Amino acid sequence: MAQSDIREQVDLIREVFAYADQFRGGTFVIKISNQIVDHPDFPQHARDLALLHKSGIRIVIVPGARKRIDEVLDRFGADKRFKDDIRISSGEDMDLIKMAAFDVAHRVMTALSGHKITAVIGNWVRARSRGVINGVDFERTGSVDRVRVEALTRSLEQGHVPIFPCIGHNESGDPFNLSSDELAGTVAVALNARKLFILSTEDVMYTPEWEVPENVEVLDDGRIFRMVPDAAEEIVKLNPDKPGRFLLRTAAAACRAGIDRAHILDGRQGGVLLKEIFSNLGVGTMVFADAYERIRPMESSDVPGILDIMRPLIAEGILVERTREELERKQNDYWVYDMDGVVHGCAALHPFGESSAEIAGMAVDARYAQLGIGAKLLDLLNEKAVEDGISRLFVLTTRTADWFLARGFRDGSLSDLPAERREEYNEERNSRVLVKNLDSN
């Protein structure tokens, strides 16, 4: 295997360990659409769910049952009625609806049992009638009244995987048909889950098929990567013809209610759950509520990862060689970009005297290039320099001049460098000197 392949694999394994450690003991709620449970690849999802469970993540599953309910109602010649995509469930149909909902839940349980997982189907929600909305009586379609968190937590502590059929009962024991999306979101919030996953049969969201506002992060290949709940609501409005917009609405509602991250995945692709969980860029679309990324001072434990990012750039002559000792010695000057606990970039601000500072050691992991990480690091160094009373920034670069010139730097000369730095200037390297006066910002 080529050295670069080995390094890539090692990077991937590191990423997996970093995430596995972070999520152990946390709860993931997974809403699986009915079509995915019926899909030929479902056994693969069941295996991945079992792996997650065995790695110490608490798994809760909410299977949708819409397709199965439709099939059963059709078979018995019962009407199917909807208002705003919500089923109106009549009292007479409830036995059929229960049968369909429990059938899907049983299929999920059976698939997990094949992996020696004790999955349990339970009644952990109290329901109430949805009532009459704008003159429409939803009859036996209900809403989640409350989640019986204690009983559910006990089940999780015993190492079980709870499965929620979309049926809840009110205080008098009458059954109600619940929306599995709402159920999954409410259960995730009640359990203070780390993540909500929605495995659907909708295509992954890409631009330009989907129209998106500016504050949504889109990857180079057009995949709609991540956004905050307000932006998700905007996408819903901008794309009124896309059925997938309902998934965004569910994800946004869950994040507004307190879930950190809700991930929308195309469940027709095998392995999507693991890919989404254990890699930073994932494979789906994410709505997030908290600060997902941060720039923080470098810690000594970051040094090996930073050297990994710098190594190929040093090999290409883009960056000057740096050793572990050197990075540790200058630790206070370095800042790192941290996404979910994994470092993807760094930059240093080395002060020279009281009024000038050098920007150096700026490096972004090539796999995360062009996501604005470099710009964020540079903005932060600018801010720090202003705070420290620095009036002039300079940078020495061989290949990245354009990038700095586009960000407020201008061409300078050796005479712009502090004397101490000028003495160290490497004639052979012949770097360009770029400067930026902070006063004139």
The answer to whether the bond into 208 is cis (omega within 30° of 0) is yes
Q: How far apart are CA 355 and CA 385, in angstroms?
A: 9
- The site that binds ligand COA (CB under 6 A) totals a number of residues, namely 20
Helices (H) and strands (E) in the chain, counts: 15, 24
Please state the closest distance from residue 72 (CB atom) to ligand COA, in A: 52
Which residue of 20, 375, 380, 438 would you call a contact of ligand COA, by CB under 6 A?
A: 375
Please state the closest distance from residue 254 (CB atom) to ligand COA, in A: 29
Single-letter code of the amino acid located at 102: F
Number of Cβ atoms within 10 Å of the Cβ of 433: 20
Q: Interface with ligand COA includes 374 (CB under 6 A)?
A: yes
Q: Interface with ligand COA includes 360 (CB under 6 A)?
A: yes
Q: Interface with ligand COA includes 352 (CB under 6 A)?
A: no
Q: CB under 8 Å to 288, separation ≥6 — which residues?
A: 226, 227, 228, 255, 260, 261, 262
Q: How far apart are CA 237 and CA 248, in angstroms?
A: 11
Only one of the segments 62-70, 138-146, 178-186, 370-378 lies at the binding site for ligand COA (rule: CB under 6 A); that segment is 370-378
Only one of the segments 219-227, 289-297, 323-331, 393-401 lies at the binding site for ligand COA (rule: CB under 6 A); that segment is 393-401
Cβ proximity to ligand COA: between 143 and 280 the closer is 280
Q: Interface with ligand COA includes 290 (CB under 6 A)?
A: no
Cβ proximity to ligand COA: between 156 and 405 the closer is 405
- Encode 61-91: b = buried (16+ Cβ within 10 Å), e = exposed: bbbbbbbbbeebbeeeebeebeeeebbbbbe
Which residue of 372, 379, 414, 422 would you call a contact of ligand COA, by CB under 6 A?
A: 372
Q: Interface with ligand COA includes 300 (CB under 6 A)?
A: no
Task: Give the distance, in angstroms, between the CA of residue 96 and the centroid of all CA atoms in the same chain.
Answer: 37
Q: How far apart are CA 349 and CA 394, in angstroms?
A: 10
Are the beta carbons of 404 and 382 closer than 8 angstroms?
no
Point out the residue whose Cβ comes nearest to ligand COA.
374
Cβ proximity to ligand COA: between 26 and 351 the closer is 351
Cβ proximity to ligand COA: between 189 and 349 the closer is 349
Q: Interface with ligand COA includes 175 (CB under 6 A)?
A: no
Q: Interface with ligand COA includes 318 (CB under 6 A)?
A: yes
List the structure tokens of 107: 């299929």
Taking each helix axis from N to C end, the angle separating 303-315 and 3-23, rounded to the nearest 10 degrees, works out to 160
Q: Interface with ligand COA includes 381 (CB under 6 A)?
A: no
Single-letter code of the amino acid located at 247: L
Which residue of 169, 281, 403, 418 would you call a contact of ligand COA, by CB under 6 A?
A: 403
Number of Cβ atoms within 10 Å of the Cβ of 105: 25
Cβ proximity to ligand COA: between 287 and 373 the closer is 373
Q: Interface with ligand COA includes 230 (CB under 6 A)?
A: no
Which residue of 363, 385, 433, 434 would you call a contact of ligand COA, by CB under 6 A?
A: 363
Q: Interface with ligand COA includes 397 (CB under 6 A)?
A: yes
Q: Interface with ligand COA includes 219 (CB under 6 A)?
A: no
Which residue of 296, 370, 388, 422 would you call a contact of ligand COA, by CB under 6 A?
A: 370
Taking each helix axis from N to C end, the angle separating 229-238 and 245-256, rounded to the nearest 10 degrees, works out to 160
Please state the closest distance from residue 232 (CB atom) to ligand COA, in A: 23
Q: Interface with ligand COA includes 364 (CB under 6 A)?
A: yes
Taking each helix axis from N to C end, the angle separating 245-256 and 180-190, rounded to the nearest 10 degrees, works out to 20
Binding stretches for ligand COA (CB under 6 A) = 313, 318-319, 360, 362-364, 369-375, 395, 397, 399-400, 402-403
